Structure 1
Amino acid sequence: MGRKEVALTDAAPFFIFGTLRDRQLLDIVAGGNVDARDAFLPGFRVACAKDQSFPILDERGNKAAEGLLLTLTPEQAERLDYYEAPYDYTRVPVTVTTDQGAVQAEVYAPPPGRWAPSGNWSLTRWQDQYGALMREAATEIMAGMGTIPAAQVAKHMGVIRTRAQQRLNAAAVSSPTQLRRPHSRNDVELVERRRKYSQFFVLDEVDLAVRKFDGSTAEPVERAVFVTADAVTVLPYDPKRDRVMLIEQFRAATYLRGDQNPWSLEAIAGRQDPGETFEQTARREALEEAGLEMQALHKVSSYYGSPGANTEYLTSFIGIADLPDGIEGVGGLDSEAEDIRSMLVSFDTLMAALDSGEVENGPLVISALYLARMRASLRS
């Protein structure tokens, strides 16, 4: 394949062989129905990019890569260019075969040598594992077209996917309504949504018309919402030694509030990565922050920390662990600028710190109180 720059007004069809063959994803990216037909690229196979979930073209003998030939409007082509740009993909010319013969087309391709091929890639397997997540992520990406540069999307692709995972989490859970009225999202009209900031976190302003308890609908009101990812905390507890591991680290929010000691006592915590369960996140974070292998995990609760303005949804665990003397220290990931001190404290010391106010981190307060409630059964 030879590389060339292609203008948006160029009328050549597009050949797609990978994730955009998912028609729901294609419609999200292209902004509507796309004219597509089956096509093949002779001399290539669709391979997994090594250690990645997406595919690349691999030139192997007489294979023919299966795909779709798209006929796009200029607007649709521009949308596809925006979606592919964060991956540093560009259009290159190819000749594909269809039921009507050979056709000159263009295909999105990464820079030569960027990804190594591994086994054959399966669209069905990708749809089962990642389809819903990537459709949700694409919805956010495409909503930023025209206002958010593709380079910024590329920089924050990971957190875009974590926010997509958060929305999937929320859609999958129907919490009880024994005390609450059985309202639904249909009782809220989103009049307008304005994205004011989008990098590691997102700040949205929204105008909402909400159904009131008397059945009428209120006039639209403006609200600002801090959009982040779902997160997990885990408090390691050794029932034999009756002690826990706490961590201490600097927090920018406490500093900006004006706290005279902006270091916080906390349980181990971290954002849920796309595709993880909350339990997997807890175990991964325990290894990263403290080098601990968790044994049994006991769920404390799932809850919003500050639902008036923050989408963060937390799931807290007590994690049974072996906590001998000498395992405390300083850890964290350099790649995330983490400087985390771990310490071992007895259960009684934890309760004293809770009573004195030195423990002022919400998830740790909740976890400590749950531990006090369940301590006898955990030690039996």
Structure 2
Amino acid sequence: MLPIFFYGSLRDRELIEIVLGRAVAPADLAPARAAGFATRRARGEDYPMLVPEAGAVAEGVLLSGLSAADLERLAYFEEAEYALAPITVETAGGTLEARHFRPTGKRPAVAELWNFADWQREHRPVAHEAACELMALHGEVPVERIDDHWPAILVRARQRARALSEPGPMAGGIRSRFGPSDVEVAARRRVYRGFVAVDEMRLRHKRFDGSWSAEMGRTAVLWGDAVTVLPYDARRDRVLLIEQFRPAPMARGDRCPWCIEVIAGRVDADEDAVDTARREAREEAGLELGCLVETGLYYTTPGLSAEALRGFVGEADLPHAGGLYGLDGEHEDIRAFVLDFDVAMAAVGRGEVNTGPALVALLWLAANRGGLRRAWAGQEADTGS
């Protein structure tokens, strides 16, 4: 069986092993290059296509020792965007005939060259996480249905990669120093996948007295991470809140399933938290925010939901803000309204602010309001903070 020349993200050995579901022997993977080809970025994507180009040379690796099962897994990973085609490559041992995954034309290439080192630095962790979830579908979801699952897979992959990049408990802090090695997962099964994923687990964990807990069943719901942002007008000492219908309070039996909230939204696969905060402020309140100050990263329902919220307070000019907003395509009906800070805190005291992220944001602002007024409005204010 002819070896395969990889010129894109599958030059990464660990990614190859994730896709194949097995270790790759060192002797089966060797540097190679293809003369007369250039590696160029696919439009709107972070992966490349190999295109004929006079005078160009595409760097890559040559993988040998492949089985029929390996080829099936590789074809599943490449989906309908690539098909195997012959190619001649140069190796340290001379010229060899091989195959490569040639683009089928589903996405045309664009002008810029694709750089493997840049991909490793910017996209490798997310690609590994996404490949793990994608290949878990092999044999369960037909290749023609992968596109239905891919957006949610990518959001969850970024969530996991983001969590792995965050620091652990700080030295001298109040949190215990437990880590991943203090949890043993005996079984994990995905029982639902769609916009959200639901995992059922059997696990045990280290206890505070040093012993191990009994094995227990637990469920986790995953749909990515989100941001919140509380717009604050420091010159006028006013905040903007929103109100909208929420189905979960209705399912609980709440007599008024409309919630007082701060602006919030899920971090999409191609965004960071700051971009999301600014986009959601435009969509939900028609605002262009100035400076953003982070208020913290926290879980709202850690007993069930894997969603982590990153909160912000955003510099805003609110003399004429407010109104009705939301995206029709997402069936949003949002009332944005502006309150004096003291009025908002009085509403907190009366129990009218009925969502945790809004309470967190307002209480954070109460503790830090004086510094923001000095920084954003140049005012010395008697705010009690």
TM-score relative to the length of structure 1:
0.88
Deviation at 1:104, TM superposition (A): 4.4
Equivalent of 1:217, from 212, 221, 236?
A: 212
Deviation at 1:364, TM superposition (A): 0.3
Q: Deviations over 1:179-213 (max 9, x none)?
A: 34322221111111011011111110000021222
* Larger deviation, residues 140-149 vs 218-227: 140-149
Runs of 5+ consecutive residues of structure 2 not aligned to the other structure = 374-378, 380-385
1:288 lines up with 2:280 in the alignment: no
Which residue number corresponds to residue 238 of structure 1? 233
Q: Matched residue of 1:91: which SS?
A: strand
- Preserved contact between residue 50 and residue 118 of structure 1 (Cα < 8 Å): no
- Preserved contact between residue 165 and residue 275 of structure 1 (Cα < 8 Å): no
* Larger deviation, residues 67-76 vs 300-309: 67-76
Query: Following the alignment from structure 2 to structure 1, what is the Cα–Cα distance between the partners of residues 335 and 176?
Result: 44
Rate the CA distance shift 1:334–1:111 in 2: closer, same or farther, 3 A.
farther
Query: Following the alignment from structure 2 to structure 1, what is the Cα–Cα distance between the partners of residues 149 and 296?
Result: 29
The CA RMSD measured in Å over matched residues stands at 2.3
Q: Deviations over 1:240-287 (max 9, x none)?
A: 222212222332322322333333221111222346543333223223
- Preserved contact between residue 85 and residue 101 of structure 2 (Cα < 8 Å): no
1:118-133 map, 5 Å: 118-133=111-126
Which residue number corresponds to residue 29 of structure 1? 19
Deviation at 1:238, TM superposition (A): 0.6
Which residue number corresponds to residue 90 of structure 2? 98
Which residue number corresponds to residue 332 of structure 1? 326
Q: Matched residue of 2:60: which SS?
A: strand
Rate the CA distance shift 1:376–1:63 in 2: closer, same or farther, 3 A.
closer
Deviation at 1:60, TM superposition (A): 2.4
Deviation at 1:132, TM superposition (A): 1.4
Q: Deviations over 1:13-67 (max 9, x none)?
A: 3232111111121111112233233334443211112333211122323433332
TM-score relative to the length of structure 2:
0.86
Q: Matched residue of 2:208: which SS?
A: coil
Equivalent of 1:75, from 69, 77, 91?
A: 69
Runs of 5+ consecutive residues of structure 1 not aligned to the other structure = 1-10
1:34-49 map, 5 Å: 34=24, 35-49=28-42
Q: Deviations over 1:82-121 (max 9, x none)?
A: 2122xx324232222234434142x334432622322111
1:54 lines up with 2:47 in the alignment: yes
Query: Following the alignment from structure 1 to structure 2, what is the Cα–Cα distance between the partners of residues 335 and 69?
Result: 46
- Preserved contact between residue 197 and residue 223 of structure 2 (Cα < 8 Å): yes
Which residue number corresponds to residue 112 of structure 1? 105
- Preserved contact between residue 353 and residue 359 of structure 1 (Cα < 8 Å): yes
Rate the CA distance shift 1:314–1:152 in 2: closer, same or farther, 3 A.
farther
Letter in 1 for 2:119: W
Query: Following the alignment from structure 1 to structure 2, what is the Cα–Cα distance between the partners of residues 250 and 184?
Result: 38
Query: Following the alignment from structure 1 to structure 2, what is the Cα–Cα distance between the partners of residues 82 and 365?
Result: 46
- Preserved contact between residue 233 and residue 282 of structure 1 (Cα < 8 Å): yes
Q: Aligned pair count?
A: 366
- Preserved contact between residue 43 and residue 107 of structure 2 (Cα < 8 Å): no
Which residue number corresponds to residue 139 of structure 1? 132
Which residue number corresponds to residue 18 of structure 1? 8
Equivalent of 1:165, from 152, 158, 166?
A: 158
Which residue number corresponds to residue 361 of structure 1? 355
1:301-312 map, 5 Å: 301-312=296-307
- Preserved contact between residue 56 and residue 117 of structure 1 (Cα < 8 Å): no
Rate the CA distance shift 1:67–1:336 in 2: closer, same or farther, 3 A.
farther
Deviation at 1:226, TM superposition (A): 1.1
How much identity, in percent, do the aligned residues show? 41
- Preserved contact between residue 85 and residue 102 of structure 2 (Cα < 8 Å): no
1:298 lines up with 2:293 in the alignment: yes
Rate the CA distance shift 1:291–1:23 in 2: closer, same or farther, 3 A.
farther
